[in-house]
Amino acid sequence: MQQELKAKLEKVIDLVNNVLVDPDIEIDYYIPENIEKIDMHDTHSSAPYVLLKYAINETHVQEQKILIKHNYLSKTPEDLANLVTFFIEQFIEQISSVQIGPQ
């Protein structure tokens, strides 16, 4: 089961990387080695996550962590990739609105 889950998450990473190309956003993926034994309800533990980083300027980096919650892991890799991509797009919109300011 651990290998299946790890393979699923690796496929999600490939799908997200193929869809989303933004040179300004750094995307780091964290998949714990012992994925079967993690407590998915403890958000501060070693649950899988995607960390987004955007350097606004030399001194400020905006970050957002997307936790891959337990109920997300039952989704197909494609659905999970779509969900992660959606969160990344929201992050990009958030940064754009901060940079541009209120209209």
The span from the CA of 25 to the CA of 103, in Å, is 24
Identify the three-state secondary structure at position 1.
coil
Beta bridge pairs of residue 61: 55
The pLDDT assigned to 40 comes to: 47
The pLDDT assigned to 97 comes to: 80
- Which two structure tokens, joined as six digits, stand for 103? 């209209």
Residue matched to tokens 């080695």: 33
pTM of the model: 0.78
Identify the three-state secondary structure at position 15.
helix
pLDDT truncated to tens, each residue of the chain (103 aa)? 678 888 999 999 999 988 877 778 889 999 887 655 555 455 445 678 999 998 877 778 889 999 988 788 889 999 999 999 999 999 988 888 876 665 5
DSSP 8-class letter at 57: S
The span from the CA of 50 to the CA of 30, in Å, is 6
The pLDDT assigned to 58 comes to: 74
CA angle 39, 44, 46 (to 5 degrees): 55
